[in-house]
Every structure is written in C-alpha cells, then in structure tokens.
Structure 1
Amino acid sequence: MGAVPDASASSNGTLLTAVALLAVAGLVLSRLFRLQVDPREPPIVYPTIPLLGHIIGMVRNGPLYFKTFGQKYTHPIITLPVLTSRTYLVLSPDLASQVQRASSTLDFVQLAVEALPRMAGVSKETKEIVDDPKSKEEGRERMVTQVIHGLMAPMLSPSKIGDIANIQLRHFTNFLNAIPNGHEVELFRFLSREITRASMESFYGPENPFALHPELVEEFWNWEGGLVGYMLGIFPKWTAKKAYVGLEKCVTAFVEYMQNNRHSQAYELLRRRQQFHQDEGISLEEQARLEIPMCLGINVNAGITVLWMMNHIFSRPVLLAEVRDEVQSNALLAPDLISFTALRDKCPLINSIYKESMRIAAPMTSGRYVVADTIVADTYLLRKGTVVQIAGPALHSNKEIWGPDAETFNARRFVYNWNGTRSSEDGTIVDSKANQVPAAAYRSFGGGSSLCPGRHFAQMEIVSLAALLVMGFDLEAPTGQDRVLWDPPMDDKRFPIAVIKPLNELNVKFMRRPGREDVRWKLEYY
C-alpha cells in the first residue's frame, strides 16, 4: 500500500510556488515598466515596490517621506519614478534657486491652474478660461499671472495693507478684550476660528458670507480638513462627504453675496479680482467657487502658526519673559497700545520665533510644471511634461544648512538675518556672514514666482496677535489638569495644504496678567 501524501507539505509547496510566481511577475513588471531616463537627468531612486512605491511612501509618511531623501542622499536633485513618469525632487538650496530662476520653462502657474478643479469643483469651461491657452500666441501674460503678480502682489505689499490691517487688528482687540478671566479653551480651535472671522471681515467686508451665516466657519474648516481626500477626485460627494458639503454650502453663500452686490464692501483687491473674472465671462457660480481657494489663503495658516508660537513661548518661562521685555521696551507706544510697525522693525526676537515656528511647522514643497526640456545648473536635464518639486521638508531639516539642531526649535535662529543663521555646535546663534542661510533654503512662503503675495499680511496678523496674547495673558492648565500639555505631537504624516496642525488638543485657561486685568488693549498697524 502506498504512502498517504502530506497535506501540509502540499499546501506549503503551493504557497512557495505562488510566492515565486509573484516574485517573477514583479521582476518582469519592474523591468517592463522601468523608466527610460536620459543620462543627463538627475540620479534616479527606484522604489522598493515598482510603479507605486513612491506614491505609497508619500501617502503613508506625508512630508516625512521627502525628508528621508534629504537625509539619505547628497545629490542636489534626484529623480523619483512615479507610475510610468517621474518627479524630480530638489534637495539643495542652490539648485532650488536655479529652478526658481528658470520660470519661463518651469511653470508654477500651470500647477495652480490644474489644481483649481480638484480644490473647488471648478468646471472644465472655467479652467479653460483661467488656463488662457491663447496668451502665448498673443504674446501676453496669462490670466492667472496677471492676477497674482499684477494685482495681488502690489495690493498686499506693506505700503498698501494699512487699512485692512487695522480692520484685522481691531477685530483681534475686540475679541481678546472680551475674553473672561479664567476662560478655558482648546487653543487651536479657539484661535483659528476667530482669525477666520477676522480675515473674512477684513477682506470681504462686514456682510461677508461667514458673518451672515456664522455656521459657515465650521463648514469651511470641514472643507479644509478633508481637502486632500476631496482633491483625489474619487467620488468626493461620498468619499469626502464633509469636505464636499462644506464646500457647496460656502459656494451657495458666496453666490448670494455676489447677487446682493456685497462685493462692493470688499477690499479693493477682491473687487478688482471679481471684476476681472466677470470680464472674462466666468459665470456667477463659478466666480463663487474661485473665492473658496482665496479664503484658504487668508484664513488657514495664521491660526495654526499662532498656536505653535504660543506653544514655543509659553512652554519656556525664560523665553516668555524675554519676549515680554522686548515688546514692553520697543513696541508698547502707550500702556494699552501695541504697534505692529514697531514690532516688525524693533523686535527681532518675536519675529524670529514667528519664522522659526513656520520653519518647523510649514516645510512647504514648491512645485513647478516642466513645459519644455530644461537644463538647470548647466548639468541636469528636466524633461518636458514632468513636475519638479523643491522639497521643503528636506531643506528645513538639513543640518548642513541650519546646524546640528536643525530639527528642533531655536528661538534666535532668525534674530540676525531674515533668511536665518546656521547654529553653532552648542545651539547658539552667532551673527556671522559665513553662517547666513541661503534665501532659497527657507520654503514656508515658497520662492521665486510662487512666493506668497500675502506674506506681509500674514506676518502682521500673526506677530501682532502673538504679542497681544503674550502681553495680556498667562496661559495656565485648565480645571482638572495639573499642567498644560505643551508640545503636542505634529500631524506630520499627512501632506498639509497649509501649516501642519497638532495631532492632539492643546487645552489652556486664559488668565489676565496680574496688574493688567482691566487693560483694554489696542493693536495698530503704524
């Protein structure tokens, strides 16, 4: 009688065969679809998983994925195969500067145009108008370029923003003066929502959609919070429902705003922008959709940045005392009056804390679309139809650029130089030309043609609000909590649309400073 076959051995053999077949199939696919590169292109870094590996890495690790390349490779730029194409990743400030200068063939505007339908549900017809395909043959600037550089940048310059700055600052003082002593809040939600209300009033007027429909503040933040999922475009009505509903409610309110000519109350920049859209034949609903990305720019970053500033200052008692002394000595024009101009020009420490907070929490990646084959730095070929990205997470954590403490907060990193100063081995910052950081290494506001036109307004509102919070209040542990849980972990495994948010809540109690309980604070631009 013959032996009975071993069932477990048979199943193991089947499993091994299947694994071997999968391995062979993976090898075949990898070679079949292996990217064909020109030897002049940047060095190529293949993923472990063919085709999808880099996409999976970005989804899993967010900005940290780009950071690892900066730590692993010394090349100034690398090529990442993505599906059957490639993305170029810039890891050097010198090369970042070269990319920024090649704006005629490395186009930021095209990426912005491509993002519009994904961000706000803009129609193909509107995208075509914004894309402005005839501009090149007619020898003129594209519509988006005219709006960004011809309208927004001049109207948001320091010499132009005084009026809307004072509206914003007046809103802040009314808000903070009304805080009851002992008021307990979750700090991010508390600050971000009120900054949203202030910015909407400053830019869109007292009868802005969020003022007439206060519930829209949360609907807007629902859209912002789910924006990455919404932009994937995979049935967002169901897969990113909160973002979809929030967006549609905001669009409906903006249609009403425009139908009732409330745009006449808005800042001149937005009135001219809306007229520009109307002259180009964009429908009323589509104009309303184009306002939502604008709201993203003016509403989101400030609240998160102020949160991180408060975290860094109040968690360090010595630094808190130093900031208070600096503001008291240089920017307090009267016992109750803080001047932003004095803060900006005479208070280097609080401005350094502002920039350092953004260096850590806003390591933005700046993209360019390659519209024609381009050689950068007389060395590297960037192929037409691809994307080149300046990797902010890698640049902001580079110890060769910033010093040995590059990955941690250093309050004085920007005291001597607006671009930053490399720290010494012991973490001290010494004023030295040799240690000045290249301008292109700091990516929180982009750079070159994508440099954020609203950066001056952002500095004004963030630094002013931070100064008033520091001068007017102590932030203590809420009831039932023995201490404030400073330094919440950052939600840095998701690619942020804006500044990285905290992963956990930061709960505090607002206590008016002894001897200043009855002060009615004022903030002014000049």
Structure 2
Amino acid sequence: MSPLLLLLLGLLSVLLCVLRRRNRRDGEPPLIKGWIPYIGKALEFRKDAHQFLEEHKKKYGDVFTVQIAGKYMTFIMDPLMYPNIIKQGRQLDFHEFSNTVAPFTFGYPIITSSEFPGLKEAINRSFQLLQGENLTALTESMMGNLMVVFRQDHLGTRPGENEGWRSGSMFNFCYSVMFEATFLTMYGRPQSAHRHSGMGMLKEDFLRFDTMFPLLIAQIPIWLLGQTITIRQRLIEFFLPHQMSYWSHTSQFIRTRAELFEQYDTLRDGDKAAHHFAILWASVGNTAPATFWAMYHLVSHPEALEVVRQEIQNVLILGGDNFRSDTDVTFSRDQLDKLPYLESAINESLRLSSASTNIRVAQEDFSLRLHAEGSVAVRKGDIIALYPQSMHLDPEIYEEPQTFRFDRFMQDGKEKTDFYKGGQRLRYYLMPFGSGSTMCPGRYFAINEIKQFLCLLLLYFDLELEEGQTRATVDNSRAGLGVLLPATDIRFRYRLRNV
C-alpha cells in the first residue's frame, strides 16, 4: 500500500471520528473526550493513569466516561460500587474484549468461529488444571526447578571457599530465575538435560516483546512496531509441536492443551505454538516483576526481612528439617500455606505495584445500577472499567498508602481482611488478579512461585542494596495491564549465608 494511500485512509478515519463525535445523553455519566479525534485522552492516561483518574474523580465524581484510543471507558472509582459491577453477568461481558485482543497480540486466530467448535470452552476448562489438587504437582515441580536454577547459577560458592559479596541487578536476577524455572515447570525440559539451551536468548526476545505489549493490547498494527513481528515469530517458533514433542516432564496443564489442539485440523502448527506462547506470557509477564517488587521491598526493609526469614526457618524446623546452605531444600504446598507474614509482604508489594484494569463490555444499552440509590445509563459496546490501583492507594483505606508495611495484611497473628471505606467494610480491598469470574486462574500458583523464590533467597543469602541509589520507582507505561515494571533496575549485593 502506497504512503499516499495510507495518509488518505488515515485522514478519512480522523474525519469519520470527527463526524461521529459522541455527545452525552440524559442519565449518562460525565463525558470527557479530549481535543484529539480518536485519541481522546489516551496520551494523558498512559502518562500516569492513577493521577489522571484521581484528578478527574475530584472534578466529576465517582463515575465518568473517558474517550481513550477510540473506546469509551466508563470508570467506576468507588470500591463500594465494585460488587454491583462484578456480579453483572448477562449485560456486562469480559470475553468479548479478550477474545479479540489476545489473538491480535499473540498471533493466533480468533477461536470463537465455526472453524473451531467447542475449542473455546475446552480451553477455559483446561485452566482448572492450575488449581485444586493439580496445584500440588505444579508447586512441587516449581520447587525443584527453582532449586536447579539457584544451585547451578548462584549457589556454586560454598561457605569457607569464597565468602565475598557478589553484585547483581535485581530485576534481571529475578527475571532470569523466574523465567527459566517457570518455563521448565510449565513446558518441561529436554529429555537428556535439566535445562534448555538458548534460554537467555528466549528471555531477551520475551522482554523485547513485552516492551511492545501495551501497544499491541491497544491494537496498534504490529507491522508499525519495528522488529516486534520478527521477535514474536521467533518466540512462537520455540513452541512448534515437533519441538515440544521432545520435551519431558511437561505439566499436565500444557499436555492437556497440546492434546486438545491436535484435535482440530483447522489449527495450523503455528497457531498451536502461538497459544503456548500466550500462556508463557500469562505465566511470567506479571509474576516476574511481582517477584522483583517483593524482593526489593524486603531487602529495603531489613527488619521485615528478618521477621520473614525467621518465619521461614520456623516452618522448616516444625517440619523436622535442619537447613544447611550446602544442601537442597524443599517447601511443600502445605508449608507455603503456613507463612502468613511472607504472604502479607507479597500482598503489600502487589498493592504498591499492581495497576490492572478490570473491564467489562456492555452488551446492550441499559441502566447500570451502582448502589441502592443510583444508576447510570451505558451504551452497547462501552467498556465499564474498575481501576483497583486507586483503591490500593486510597489513604482512607490504607494508612500512609505509599509506605511499604510488610505486616499490613496481618492482625493478631492472622490474615487481616477487614478494610473500610466511608465506614463500610469493603468486600474487595486487594485486586491484583482481576475480579469475579475473570480472576486470573493461575493466581494461586503465582503466589506460591513468589513464596518459593523468596524462601530460597532468604535462606541461602545475605542481601543488601548497594549504596548511592535512589529508591525504585514504577514505570507507568504498562498502567492498566498488571504489575508495573521498575523505571530503572536496582543494584544489590548477595553472599552465601554460613548456616
């Protein structure tokens, strides 16, 4: 297509947007359109979504509609209204959005078509293999794979041989360990080796793709994003069926999905591989940065680190294990459940770093009830959005919300679940994994992964931040999509503990 034709098409689309500019109807929330056709307020929102929404909340109240990149998004800012949105089923749907955006982002065909009868339902059922009794096998496998990566990459030095400090970049350290251990747990390993070759290159391609992920979710054509299409193709090709057939110790979850895909002749090998690549992103894209933030906050607060470390050691002692740094250690799923202070620290890190948007698409024009006394009119095709970061950072709910308190979710030695807004107890107060029927099905596995990583880290190493650094801050470019990345990496020192 010629540049002139592209320009004309672009001008035409802008003209159509101008001609179709939306006006507020009676009963609808305040409408914020911005002065740029189609783009609306997208640039301001992406710059700092939390600040943008808080400023508009002060001006327009708890419910308002914003034009963002051609979409009209109605934000519900009061968490006391969340239950009424989450329980809506027939008139508000999440799958319409995900069924379109995920294929576009990861490069597989939309599976709701008549070409793939029953596939969507079978894929959804497969996620049950990440929970319940199946979680035990996944957790045990992850424990072994974390131990392999730690032992071979970071535990080569024994006490007495070389007790000096080693330096590292914290985000890269976390990402490298979690990426490979998660990959091995989900997809398995070569039949004749414990680890895959080329894992470093795969991780670098993954990170480059992840940088462009916000633009792909916004449905920017991939051919406009430089080398992204080539990088995505390399990532997909890593999961081609003939290559995966040589891997052993693959999780039941991935085996089931692979067997399911083989039942559809209309799925090409590249389509099957793209589905597997999408699961890799779902497994690592948020869990790895969440691990970084949990590690960073604990290392930044030595008193919290020591409390959590003692809790971990106590769980081992109760289990009859005497930890020594020259031997491998194992934590069962049951033991991980007995670490409330560690879980509180992880939840506090998620509160400070997660910035996901919970979205539903209106299936018809209707009146959306927000609470007993009020409702607003919404239009078919509009997106209804909850933005929990505003709740997570609300000083009425969380005292000094910008401060890390490792025991914020503890009370009298047990998990704290009572948080209040306007004198009313909140049903939803921490939402890093979505809400309702659309909550991340792998959330229990993700929390266990982070716990296991931190258990090994705190047991085996002394840890401290290198001097002369400013504190870590979030990069807001992924706002709305999950756990935020650090704006810059953090340097730290670690050495093997003499235990």
- The two structures have a TM-score, normalised by structure 2, of 0.82
- SS of 1:245's partner is helix
Distance 2:104 2:284 in 1: 19
- Is contact 2:87-2:436 (8 Å) kept? yes
Distance 1:163 1:323 in 2: 25
Residue 462 of structure 1 and its aligned partner are, at CA, apart by 0.2
Determine which of 43, 58, 64 is the counterpart of 1:56: 43
**What is the match of residue 24 of structure 2?**
37
Task: Indicate yes or no: 2:357 matched with 1:357.
Answer: no
**What is the match of residue 22 of structure 1?**
none
- SS of 2:485's partner is coil
- Is contact 2:143-2:331 (8 Å) kept? no
Distance 2:489 2:73 in 1: 36
Alignment deviations for residues 193-221 of structure 1 (CA, whole Å, 9 cap, x no partner): 22111111111111399924322221122
Distance 1:166 1:418 in 2: 25
- SS of 1:279's partner is coil
Residue 37 of structure 1 and its aligned partner are, at CA, apart by 3.2
**What is the match of residue 162 of structure 1?**
136
Residue correspondences, number: 458
**What is the match of residue 491 of structure 2?**
507
Residue 328 of structure 1 and its aligned partner are, at CA, apart by 2.1
Alignment deviations for residues 300-347 of structure 1 (CA, whole Å, 9 cap, x no partner): 222211211121112112212211222222344312245354554332
Task: Indicate yes or no: 2:120 matched with 1:144.
Answer: yes
- Is contact 1:368-1:387 (8 Å) kept? yes
**What is the match of residue 376 of structure 1?**
368
Residue 251 of structure 1 and its aligned partner are, at CA, apart by 1.4
**Cα distance, 1:282–1:51 mapped onto 2, change above 3 Å:** closer
Residue 369 of structure 1 and its aligned partner are, at CA, apart by 1.6
Map 1:357-506 to 2 at 5 A. Answer: 357-377=349-369, 379-400=375-396, 402-416=397-411, 420-422=417-419, 437-439=426-428, 441-477=429-465, 483=467, 485=469, 487-495=471-479, 497-506=481-490
- Is contact 2:140-2:332 (8 Å) kept? no
Q: Which amino acid aligns with 2:469?
A: L
Alignment deviations for residues 38-85 of structure 1 (CA, whole Å, 9 cap, x no partner): 32323334546665331221233345433444555542x221234776
Q: Which amino acid aligns with 1:39?
A: D
**Cα distance, 1:92–1:260 mapped onto 2, change above 3 Å:** closer
- Is contact 1:404-1:423 (8 Å) kept? no
Map 1:261-340 to 2 at 5 A. Answer: 261-262=245-246, 265-280=249-264, 281-332=266-317, 333=319, 334-336=321-323, 337=329, 339-340=331-332
Distance 2:28 2:424 in 1: 31
Deviation larger for 219-228 or 410-419: 410-419
**Cα distance, 1:242–1:410 mapped onto 2, change above 3 Å:** farther
Map 1:81-160 to 2 at 5 A. Answer: 81-82=67-68, 86-122=72-108, 126-127=109-110, 130-132=111-113, 143-148=119-124, 150-152=125-127, 154-160=128-134
Q: Which amino acid aligns with 2:260?
A: F
Identity %: 19
Alignment deviations for residues 385-410 of structure 1 (CA, whole Å, 9 cap, x no partner): 1211111222222223x233223322
Distance 2:379 2:268 in 1: 37
Q: Which amino acid aligns with 1:284?
A: D
Residue 511 of structure 1 and its aligned partner are, at CA, apart by 1.1
Q: Which amino acid aligns with 2:352?
A: I
Distance 1:491 1:227 in 2: 14
Larger strand percent: 2
Residue 249 of structure 1 and its aligned partner are, at CA, apart by 0.7
Distance 1:101 1:134 in 2: 32
- Is contact 1:356-1:409 (8 Å) kept? yes
Distance 2:246 2:56 in 1: 49
Alignment deviations for residues 441-469 of structure 1 (CA, whole Å, 9 cap, x no partner): 42210011210000110111101211221
Task: Indicate yes or no: 2:220 matched with 1:220.
Answer: no
**What is the match of residue 168 of structure 2?**
185
Distance 2:37 2:208 in 1: 35
Distance 2:278 2:245 in 1: 20
- Is contact 2:139-2:445 (8 Å) kept? yes
Distance 2:302 2:197 in 1: 41
Task: Indicate yes or no: 2:231 matched with 1:246.
Answer: yes
Please identify the structure whose Cα radius of gyration is greater.
1
